[in-house]
Amino acid sequence: MHTFYMIGGFPGVTGCIECTHVRIKSPGGDTAEVFRNKKGVFSINVQPINDRNAGIPCRSVTSLT
């Protein structure tokens, strides 16, 4: 926690959350359209949590199926 305070002045922070879409091929089938994002491409939403060393100790990959 001290490292984030030294870097950005944020007390009590243990990690930073980021979200991004990772492009995938169409999965096909009846549910393929749930993977199409607002830009019209197929993707999955990935949410890593970065620690003070820019490592990723926690990851979440979500889908609607």
Structural domain contains residue 33:
yes
pTM recorded for the entire structure:
0.58
Q: What is the pLDDT of residue 17?
A: 80
Interval 17-40: pLDDT, tens? 888 899 999 999 999 999 999 999
Structural domain contains residue 54:
yes
Q: Which domain holds residue 51?
A: 15-62
Say how many domains are in the chain.
1
Structural domain contains residue 24:
yes
Structural domain contains residue 5:
no
How far is residue 30 from each of residues 5, 7, 13, 27, 47, measured CA to CA in Å? Answer: 48, 47, 42, 9, 25
**Partners of 42 in beta bridges:** 36
